[in-house]
Amino acid sequence: MNAGWVLLHGALLLGMVLTAASILWIRNLVAGAIALAVFSLMMALEFYLLQAPDVAIAEAGIGAGLTTAIFIVAIMATRSGKTPNPGAPEDEGTPE
Amino acid sequence: MRSRIVGYIASVFYPFCLVFGLYVVTHGHLTPGGGFQGGAVMATAVALMIVSGMFTVAVREKKVVRYKWCEALGLLLFVALAFGGMLQGGSFFHNWLANAGGCFGEAVAAGPNGGALNTGGTIPLMNLAVGVEVFGGISIILVTMVRAMKENRDG
């Protein structure tokens, strides 16, 4: 295990922690979904480096591809919290 | 959210996505990947069309019926191949095509080698069945979500 290998693993793990934290911090929902996709991509790379290419393909396809699409479709189906929702009852307050 | 450029580029990438998924499925017994992963890659092509705003293409009733047929036929082929082993006198899931010559029936060469596609018996066919089934199933999930969104928006 040489230094470059350790550096690569460290950079990937640090990036995973940073993207996971940014999913919580980011207020924009679409940006959060993209951050989740980046997290999944780094996870897939880490799986590949740990010699599990089978799991890496599944993670890249499901995590980075399909869940992002499903999240984006779900975000497209919702309205922004600031605009009044005509169908919702009035006394619920504005959701963040 | 709909852009004509993004839509056109997505429709250019759509067949390549499908072909790459089929590659992962058909080489499932030789390389990493297999039925589930390849099917998920193929379903990602449908997701690409939906996210890029071309969902009028992917959500049509004819296409949904086709996804349902994909799912049903994939499962049927999988179970039929498994029962085929019993018909040949073996157990359930007995690999009755391996080393028999013909369809995926070539004997595997001894020692480390690059791998021949025409080996594996029922395993590549089962991979194909699982791939088609997963493609249909995940596409139905995506299309159902988009339809619920459109109904919510229109009505």
What's the number of domains chain B is made of?
1
pTM of the model: 0.82
Hey, of B2, B22, B44, which one would you mutate to test binding to chain A, going by the most A CBs within 10 A of its CB? B44
Which residue has better confidence, B52 or A9? A9
Dihedral angle, C-alpha A31, A33, B49, B3, nearest 10 °: -10
B80 pLDDT above the threshold of 70: yes
B50 pLDDT above the threshold of 50: yes
Scan residues 15-74 of B and list those with Cβ closer than 8 Å to A. Answer: 24, 32-34, 36-37, 40-41, 43-44, 47-48, 50-51
CA angle A54, A59, A62 (to 5 degrees): 120
Q: Do A66 and B37 touch (CB under 8 A)?
A: no
Query: What distance in Å separates the CA atoms of residue B64 and residue B139, rounded to the nearest whole number?
Result: 8
> What sign results for the dihedral spanned by CA atoms A25, A28, A33, A37?
negative
Q: Do B24 and A57 touch (CB under 8 A)?
A: yes
| pLDDT confidence tier of residue A39, bands split at 50, 70 and 90 | very high
Query: Average pLDDT in the B49-60 region?
Result: 73
Q: Which residues contact A68 (CB under 8 A, 6 or more apart)?
A: A33, A34, A36, A37, A40, B47, B51
Helices (H), B27-121: 35-51, 55-58, 61-87
Residue A10 has pLDDT above 90, yes or no: yes
CA distance B101 to chain A (A): 29
Mean pLDDT of B134-138: 93
Structural domain range at position B64: 4-154
What does the pLDDT look like over B108-119, one tens digit per residue? 878 788 778 888
For an interface test with A, which of B42, B149, B150, B154 has the most A Cβ atoms less than 10 Å from its Cβ? B149
